[in-house]
Amino acid sequence: MQSMKFDLHVHTSISPCSQLSLDDILSQARKKGLQGVCITDHDTMDVRRYINEGIQNNGLCVIFGMEYATQEGDFLLFGPFERIKLGLSAADLLNNVLDKGGVAVSAHPFRFNRPTSEHLIKNGLCTIVEGINGRNHQNENDSVASWENLYGVRQVGGSDAHSLEELGRVATLFQQPIRSRADFIDALKNGRYSPERN
């Protein structure tokens, strides 16, 4: 069985806060030990205008997603959300994701300035959380264990890269091959994976 290491949380320079170019991601990710990268720019999937999703010429698998901001936390979205309406409440967003067969991941759920509201997890609206975020303080990452014990959430890892130095510092190891967004969503819903520092 082929395992694949993905950085699930990467911002390109499409995000105003990021200095990381798409060219650098494509040319350097494999050198950093990654087989896949998820582009999760803030509130947009405009990366689709610049490259094709899926396996690149160098073998890197690129998946399009986005980081969607709500007042009750930020969520990494994977699915048919290229034209999703912005400004939805967290509950409306998560129900929309479920209705469309996608996946939402609670991004940096215990970050001091943008935590995820616990009731969303408790009520089963989001069942996957970022257990290791490369930009979090250690105590913010460690706090995720409480939700694993209480609610049985599954954990992924992402660097939250805004620079080339950060790319791949944290990743998710999947115990199955992934070649497309559909494969990726299926792996998140049904597969075996774990967060790790790279």
Contact 61, 39 (CB under 8 A): no
Looking at residue 191, the DSSP 8-state letter turns out to be S
Q: For residue 80, what are the contacts with CB-CB under 8 A and spacing of at least 6? A: 100, 101, 102
Q: Coil, strand or helix: which one is 16?
A: coil
Task: Tell me what pLDDT residue 120 has.
Answer: 98
Task: Residue 39: give its domain's CATH number.
Answer: 3.20.20.140
- Rounded mean pLDDT of 94-102? 98
Contact 30, 5 (CB under 8 A): no
Query: Per-residue pLDDT tens for 127-181?
Result: 999 999 999 999 999 999 999 999 999 999 999 999 999 999 999 999 999 999 9
| H helix intervals, 52-176 | 90-99, 118-122, 138-142, 144-151
Domain that holds residue 191: 4-197
Total domains in the fold of the chain: 1
Task: Tell me what pLDDT residue 1 has.
Answer: 56
Bridge partners (DSSP) listed for residue 158:
133
Checking if the pLDDT of 81 tops 90, the result is yes
